[in-house]
A and B are shown apart, each in its own frame.
Chain A
Amino acid sequence: MTRLILPLLGVIIFYSESIFATFSPIEAFGDTRFLVPRFLFVFILFISVYYKQRTAYIYGFTFGFMYDLFFTGIIGIYMFLFPLLVYIALAILKLINQNIVVVGVLGLFLIAVLEWIVYQFNLLIGVAGVDFTTFATQRLYSTLLFNSLFILLLAYPFKSWMINVRQGEN
Chain B
Amino acid sequence: MPPFFMNKRLIVLLVSIILLVALIGFSLRERENISWPEQFVKDIVGFGQNIASKPAGYAQGLIDNVQDLTNTYTENQKLKARLEEMALLETQVTDLSRDNEELRSLNGIEENLRDFNVVNATVIARNPDQWQESIIIDKGQVNGIKTDMAVQTASGMIGRVKDTSQFTSTVELLSARNANNRVSALIQSEESNVFGLVEGYDLEREELMVKKIPFDQEVQEGSKVITSGLGGVFPRDLVIGEVTEVTSDEYGLTQTAYVKPASSLYDLEHVMVIERVAAGQDEIEEDAQGEEEEE
Contacts and interface: CB of A to CB of B under 8 A. Distances in A.
Interface of A: 11-12, 15-22, 24-25, 32, 34, 36-37, 65-77, 79-80, 118-119, 122, 125-130, 139
B131 A128 contact: yes
Contact of A76 (B27, B38, B126): B27
Contacts of B262: none
A25 B266 contact: yes
A156 B16 CA distance: 34
Contact of B49 (A70, A75, A129): A70
Contacts, number: 110
Nearest to A15: B52
Given A15-B52, A73-B163, A76-B20, A21 B127 contact: yes
B136 interface: yes
B41 A70 contact: yes
B42 interface: yes
Contacts of A32: 206
Which range contains the number of B residues in contact with the other chain? 35 or more
Interface in B105-149: 125-132, 134, 136
Contact of B45 (A37, A66, A79): A66
Nearest to A26: B266
Among B16, B20, B23, B131, the one with the most A-chain Cβ atoms within 10 Å of its Cβ is: B131
A79 B42 CA distance: 15
Among B21, B126, B170, the one with the most A-chain Cβ atoms within 10 Å of its Cβ is: B126
Contact of B267 (A20, A22, A37): A22
Nearest to A70: B45
Contact of B128 (A21, A69, A80): A21
B23 A70 contact: no
Contacts of A139: 130
19 contacts: A15-B48, A18-B53, A18-B126, A19-B52, A21-B126, A21-B130, A22-B267, A37-B128, A71-B125, A73-B163, A73-B170, A75-B23, A76-B21, A76-B23, A76-B24, A127-B131, A127-B178, A128-B177, A129-B177
A72 B27 CA distance: 10
A114 to B, nearest CB: 9
Given A19-B52, A76-B19, A76-B24, A69 B41 contact: yes
B46 interface: yes
Contact of B56 (A19, A37, A67, A80): A19
Contacts of A15: 48-49, 52-53
Given A129-B177, A130-B203, A17 B24 contact: no
B26 interface: yes
B28 interface: yes
B69 to A, nearest CB: 21
B207 to A, nearest CB: 13
Nearest to B60: A22
Given A69-B38, A75-B27, A127-B177, A118 B52 contact: no
B34 interface: yes
